[in-house]
């Protein structure tokens, strides 16, 4: 059962491979990638979408995903582009996984820039931080009483106001010098740098791989139809 996963900045491909042995890992998805896979002699039976491109190329379209699902392919999404598309297509059978997907599916998030980042094209490492990661980490800081509600709101406003390629927690906190009390600002900065601060995209990527691995144990292979239409 051929399995393909599109992953990049959310989780290093080499680490992803350890969580889903036997799968093929491709760079962040863009428009045409699924159609190209489905045109191959042996198309995948399962596709996982974690990361995707949208600024330097056209993003993967919902219709392209639907065409694959019409041919019996099970498609999973989480973390970034996968979470966006899963929130749009879960009613048609796409499987959404994780916190970021749930936030979009529930309507808690709507803006695409919540998951948008820029990354190095060779290493696939992110060069900024996604707003959704900042948001989820701040929620954890609130629960731990690392930050007050008022200061949390100040920080969120500062982070959201940054253009996404320049968005980092450090940049947002820098903007708050002289506005947020310095001890509070330093305490929040220390927490966000610590291992205790959650990384929503990474955790969701791992959850998707775990879900695909578990589903594979019960997945029954059926012939892929030659022709299908929606």
Query: What are the residue boundaries of the structural domains of the chain, listed by start?
Result: 3-123+200-220, 131-193
Within 8 A by CB and 6+ apart from 21, the residues are none
What mean pLDDT value characterizes the chain?
93
How far from 200 is each of 9, 12, 56, 136, CA to CA, in Å? 12, 15, 24, 7
Tens digits of residue pLDDT in 118-139: 988 888 889 999 999 999 999 9
Q: Do strands 24-26 and 74-78 pair parallel, antiparallel, or not at all (unpaired)? A: unpaired
- Tens of pLDDT, residue by residue over 176-211, are 999 999 999 999 999 999 999 999 999 999 999 999
Cα separation, 22 vs 212, whole angstroms: 12
- SS3 of 126, please? strand
pTM of structure:
0.91
């Amino acid at each position: 059962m051929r399995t393909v996963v599109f992953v990049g900045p959310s989780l290093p491909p080499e680490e992803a491979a350890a969580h889903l042995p036997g799968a093929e890992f491709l760079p962040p998805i863009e428009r045409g990638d699924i159609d190209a896979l489905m045109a191959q002699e042996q198309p995948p039976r399962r596709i996982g979408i974690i990361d995707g491109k949208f600024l330097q190329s056209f993003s993967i379209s919902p219709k392209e995903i639907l065409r694959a699902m019409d041919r019996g392919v099970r498609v999973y999404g989480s973390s970034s582009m996968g979470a966006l598309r899963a929130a749009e297509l879960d009613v048609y059978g796409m499987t959404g996984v994780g916190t970021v997907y749930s936030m979009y599916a529930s309507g808690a998030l709507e803006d695409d820039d919540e998951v948008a980042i820029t990354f190095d094209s060779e290493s696939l490492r992110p060069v900024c931080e996604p707003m959704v990661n900042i948001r989820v980490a701040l929620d954890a800081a609130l629960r731990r009483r690392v930050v007050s509600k008022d200061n949390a709101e100040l920080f969120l406003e500062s982070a959201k106001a940054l253009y996404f390629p320049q968005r980092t927690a450090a940049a947002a906190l820098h903007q708050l010098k002289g506005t947020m009390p310095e001890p509070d600002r330093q305490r929040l900065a220390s927490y966000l740098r610590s291992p205790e601060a959650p990384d929503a995209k990474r955790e969701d990527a791992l959850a998707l791989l775990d879900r695909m691995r578990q589903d594979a144990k019960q997945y029954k292979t059926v012939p892929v139809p030659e022709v299908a239409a929606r």
